[in-house]
Amino acid sequence: MEPEWSEIPAFYFGNTASVTGPNDPVEIFPGSEWFDCELEVASIIGRQGSNLHPNEAEDYIVGFMIFNDWSARDLQQKEMVLNIGQAKGKDGANTFGPMFVTSDELEPYRSGNSYSLKAEAYVNDEKFGEGTLDQMDWTFGEVVSFASRGTKVMPGDAICSGTVPTCCLAEHFAVATARSLAPRDGDQPPSPDSNQENFRGWLQPGDVVRLDVELLGSQQQEVLRIRLLPSLPHLWPGLESRQSPPQSHPRHEEPLCAPKVDEAALSSCRRF
């Protein structure tokens, strides 16, 4: 993992226009075949602040909510190559709730960098990830402080924890791929065709995602099929590949949804 991950609490800006409720269905982002969920906890800012010191920044947090940072991993991979941040891989849906719990209520559970709250992630009632919120790499004070540098945090802002370890599919995908490349107990590594044999697969239409966090409640959402969009071959060839009949784009032979996998980037998704 790149050393910069340990030097600053990296973050990106989410799309406030795509906030959904804790039981609302969520459509797969247009153009994506690698659709994923992320179990996080959002800290909610209660008053305006700027250039906050980490020791004072937590005083600006009024409470916490479960946050699902829905992600299109194939689109994310393509966008990150451009070195200008995340865009369509992240902005299609952001889910909060159901409960808002004030900071003082969680104080008895303070542990490590955060709070000792058990978190679990399920797809179709099958648990695929679990951990605790105190596995955060940075404190909430540190991440709020960093977000406030040179600008303002405002009442109602949601500044999130990063994914609880094992509670996103991308992490399991990276682990499954890495395992297939290294022999164990003297065995020969499997063929490249079996790289993903231990991976459950990305989210599909009809899947039901449930995220549980101790004291913060549970949210449950059905994954819906991609809506039909106008064909835009002149802007992004391949975008409509899963939404409309195939069209010929001779200048672009590489399909949109088959990027080269960067396991290091995927496995780092749990960081703030």
Q: pLDDT per residue over 115-168, tens digit each?
A: 999 999 999 999 999 999 999 989 999 999 999 999 999 999 999 999 999 999
Residue 193 is predicted with a pLDDT of 44
Residue 86 is predicted with a pLDDT of 75
Residue 198 is predicted with a pLDDT of 76
Q: pLDDT per residue over 232-261, tens digit each?
A: 555 554 554 444 444 443 333 333 333 333
Whether 197 shows a pLDDT value over 70: the answer reads: no
Q: Residue 208: name the closest of 1, 23, 69 by CA.
A: 23
Do 103 and 62 contact (CB within 8 A), yes or no?
Answer: yes
- Both tokens assigned to 140: 């909430």
Across all residues in the chain, what is the average pLDDT? 80
Whether 188 shows a pLDDT value over 60: the answer reads: no
Q: pLDDT per residue over 47-103, tens digit each?
A: 999 999 999 999 999 999 999 999 999 888 887 776 776 777 788 899 999 999 999
Residue 247 is predicted with a pLDDT of 41
Residue 76 is predicted with a pLDDT of 85
Residue 10 is predicted with a pLDDT of 78
Highest mean pLDDT among 27-36, 177-186, 229-238: 27-36
Residue 187 is predicted with a pLDDT of 40
**Pairing, β 19-20 against β 94-96:** parallel
Do 145 and 160 contact (CB within 8 A), yes or no?
Answer: no
**Cα 179 versus chain centre, distance:** 22
Phi, psi of 27, deg, nearest 5:
-80, 140
